[in-house]
Amino acid sequence: MTSAPDALVVANSAFLKRFSPYNQMEPEALAFLAEHALLGFFAKGSTVLSPDMGQPRYFYIMQRGKVQANQVGSISVTEYSSLTIGPGESFPIGAISAGRPSTNTYVALEDSYVFQLASEDFLALMRISPVFHLYCTRYIANLLNQSRLQLQTTFSQRAAEQQTMTTPLGHLIKRDPITVSPDTPTRGVLEKMAEMHIGCMVVVDAERRPVGVLTQSDLLPRVVLPAFDLSRPVSEIMTSTPHVLTTTATAYDAALEMATHAVRHLLVVDSSDELQGVVSERDLFSLQRIGLRQIRAGIEGADDIEALQRASKDIRQLALNLIAQGIGAEQLTRFISALNDALTSRIIKLELERHKLFDVDFSWVAFGSEGRHEQTLSTDQDNGIIYSAAKETQEATKQKLLVFAKDVNEALAQCGFPLCKGNIMASNPDLCLTLEEWKRRFGAWIREPNPQALLNASIFFDFRVLYGSEKIGDELHRWLLQNARGNTAFLRMMAQNALTTAPPLGRIRDFVVESDGMIDLKKSGARLFVDVARILSLRGEVASSSTVQRLRLSGQKSGISEEELDAMVEGFHFIQLLRLRAQHIETEHDSPDDNKIDPDTLNELDRHILKEAFRQARKLQLRLKLDYQL
C-alpha cells in the first residue's frame, strides 16, 4: 500500500497522539501507523463497512465526522443495536482481528474523514506494538488503567494536603522546642513544664544539641517517690540517652521507634544534630487513624457513637487516599464495605450491651449494595433481621429486637448512613422475620412476580449476613437458588424488568442525558450490570452476592468468553469509579445528585471509556434479550 508523504505523516501523528492508545504507543509503531494510514472520505449516508462486504480490508480510525454502527441480525433489537463513533474511535477491532465479516453495518451520519489502515498493516502493527496489541485484545482494561492514572493525578494533590504516615518529621513540628540547660534546677524545669502545658522537656547543650529529656511519666519514679531534692540540677534525673530521629525520617519511622522502645516522645534534629522540635505519640495518632488497620482498630475500640462518627469520617478520607494511590473500584468498594461492616458490627455490639440482649439468637442482614460488597461513599441503610425463637416466645423476642434495631438504625444514621426512605430497615416489623418467614416471603415473590415483587427481589435477593451466624444466611441462599432456578416465568419477568432501562447511548450524540443534562451512573449505569448479573446467578445457581463474581461464575456457565467477561467487569468497575469520584469531589455530603455526572465535563479518555462501559452493559442486556426472546 502507498505510504503517506512526510508532511501528512507528521500531521497524522499529531492527530493520533490526542487519543488512546496512540498516545501511549511506541515511537516506531506510531510512525508506522501514521505512514501507512491513508485518509478516506465518506459522504453523509454512505456505507463504510457492512457484513456483505466480507472480511474487512481496512481498520478504520475516525478523523472527523460521525459514523453510526448498526447491528445486523434476524431478531429486532433496535434499542440496543446502534452506537455512534466519533473522532479518535476505531472499528471493527473484533472482525479484523478474527478475519471474519463485521456483524455491524457502519454508515456515515455526516460527511466524514476516516483513516484507513490495510488489514495486513493492522496485523503488522499488532506484532510490532505491544501497546496496540493490548489495546486490541483488552482495550477497555487498558483504557481504564490510563483513566486511573488521570484520576490518581487529580486526587494526589488533595491527598497531599492530608498528611500521611510517609510525612517527614520536619513537617510535623508545629512550634519551636522549649529547652533548658543541664544545670537548670529541677524545680525550675517542672514549673516551666506546668506553665507551658508540655509533657516533655528537652535538655540541650550550648550548641542546642539534645543531651537529655524529662517527661511527665518520669516524675513519679524519679522525683515523687524518692523525694528528690528539686534544687538539684535536672541532669541528675533526666534520661541521658533520648531517642532521636532526623527531620527527614518519616512518621512511620517515628511510630516504629516509639513502639519498639515504648516511648511517647521523639526528639527531631537536623543534619548538624541541632534540635528542631519534639514529636509526640499524639502527633502521630491523627496520621495513623487514616490507615485501614488504624481505622479498624479505632472502630473496634470505640465505646460511644462520637468515636464511631469520627471513624466514619476517616473512612471517607481513606477512600480519597486510596484513589490517590491508584486503587481500583472493586478493591475500593470492598475496603469501604469492610470498614462499614466493622462500624455497623460495633454499633450492634454496643446496642446489644445497652439492651441486654445476650440470649437472643439472630443475624443482622445487609441488602442491596451493602449486601453485594459494593457500597460507595453515599449510601443509605438497607438491612433486616433473621431471628430464631421458640414458638411461644417468638412475638416477645421480635418486639425486643425491633426496639433494639430502631436504636441501631438511629446510630447508623448519626454515623452518616441515612435512614432508608423506603423503610428497608431492621426496625421495620416486615423485615424482622424468622428463617421460615423469610422463605415464605421470598417464595411468594417468586410464585407471583408482580411489579412490586420484582422490585423487592432486586433489593432483597442481594443479601449477606453482616453480624451473627452466617450459616443461616447460607441456608437461605441455597433455598433461594433452588426455588428461583426452576421458575422460568419468574426469571423471564425479571429479565423483562431488567431491560426497561437502556444504556444512555445516543444515535447522534454520544450520550442520552436527562432533562438536567446529566447521566445517573447508578440508575442508568451500575444497575444495568447488577440486574443482569443477578438473573444470571439465579439461573446458574451461583451463591455469590457480588456483581463481579456473579458475572464471572455465571458467565462461564452461560458460555461467555473470558475476554468478553473481562470487558464487562472493567466496564462495571469504571462506572463505579466515576461514581466514587463524583461523590468525593463534587458532593461529599450525600447529595441527591451524587450519582450524577455531566458527560460534557469528562475528558476525552473518560468519555471514550464511559461509552465503552455502556456498550458492555448493552451486550449483557442483549444476551438477556436473546435468551428470553424479549
Residue pLDDT, tens place only, 18-32: 998 899 899 999 999
Is 117 found in the same domain as 27?
yes
**Cα–Cα dist 309/295, whole Å:** 12
pLDDT of residue 300: 85
pLDDT of residue 80: 35
Average pLDDT over residues 543-571: 89
Q: Please say whether the beta carbons of 600 and 564 come within 8 A.
A: no
Would residue 19 be called left, alpha or beta, if left means φ above 0 and alpha means ψ between -120 and 50 degrees?
beta
**Cα–Cα dist 385/405, whole Å:** 9
pTM for the model stands at: 0.62
Q: Find all residues with CB under 8 Å of 405, minimum gap 6, and list them.
A: 385, 425, 426, 427, 432
Residue 49 pairs in a beta bridge with 106
Among the ranges given (34-38, 139-143, 329-333, 514-518), the one the predictor scored with the smallest mean pLDDT: 139-143
**Cα–Cα dist 301/403, whole Å:** 25
Q: Please say whether the beta carbons of 140 and 613 come within 8 A.
A: yes
Q: Tell which residue, 356, 354, 423, has the closest CA to residue 383.
A: 423
**Cα–Cα dist 380/415, whole Å:** 11
Is 445 found in the same domain as 333?
yes
Q: What is the DSSP secondary structure assignment for residue 17, as one 8-state letter? A: T
| 437-460 residue pLDDT tens | 999 999 999 999 999 999 999 999
User: 431 lies in which domain range?
Assistant: 328-470
Is 465 found in the same domain as 337?
yes
What stretches of 415-524 show up as alpha helix (H) in DSSP?
435-447, 451-460, 470-485, 488-498
Q: At what angle do helices 451-460 and 435-447 cross, to 10 degrees?
A: 130
Would residue 523 be called left, alpha or beta, if left means φ above 0 and alpha means ψ between -120 and 50 degrees?
alpha
**Cα–Cα dist 466/436, whole Å:** 19
Asked whether residue 384 is domain-assigned, the answer is: yes
pLDDT of residue 164: 58
| 348-392 residue pLDDT tens | 999 999 999 988 999 999 999 889 988 877 677 899 999 999 999
Q: Please say whether the beta carbons of 308 and 299 come within 8 A.
A: yes
| 89-110 residue pLDDT tens | 899 887 787 677 887 899 999 9
**Cα–Cα dist 129/24, whole Å:** 10
Is 110 found in the same domain as 20?
yes
| 214-252 residue pLDDT tens | 999 899 999 999 999 999 999 999 999 899 999 988 876
The answer on pLDDT for 3 being more than 70 is: no
Is 466 found in the same domain as 332?
yes
**Cα–Cα dist 213/558, whole Å:** 70
pLDDT of residue 521: 94
Domain count of the fold of the chain: 4
The answer on pLDDT for 587 being more than 90 is: no
**Cα–Cα dist 28/67, whole Å:** 29
351-374 per-residue burial string, b: 16 or more CB within 10 A, e: under 16 = bbeebebeebebbbbbbbbbbbbb
Q: What is the mean pLDDT of the chain?
A: 86
> What are the Cα distances from residue 505, in Å, to 413, 501, 509, 584?
36, 11, 8, 25
Average pLDDT over residues 180-192: 96
Q: In the listed set 128, 154, 189, which residue is the last one of a domain according to the structure?
A: 128
Q: In the listed set 231, 261, 288, which residue is the last one of a domain according to the structure?
A: 288
3-state secondary structure of 311: helix
Is 198 found in the same domain as 107?
no
Is 494 found in the same domain as 463?
no
Cell of 400: 425486643
pLDDT of residue 589: 42
Is 379 found in the same domain as 499?
no
The answer on pLDDT for 434 being more than 80 is: yes
Among the ranges given (222-226, 274-278, 318-322, 543-547), the one the predictor scored with the smallest mean pLDDT: 318-322
Among the ranges given (52-56, 293-297, 626-630), the one the predictor scored with the smallest mean pLDDT: 293-297
pLDDT > 90: percent of the chain = 53
Cell of 291: 490507615
What stretches of 325-434 show up as alpha helix (H) in DSSP?
329-355, 368-371, 394-414
Is 496 found in the same domain as 455?
no
pLDDT of residue 208: 95
Q: In the listed set 416, 435, 470, which residue is the last one of a domain according to the structure?
A: 470
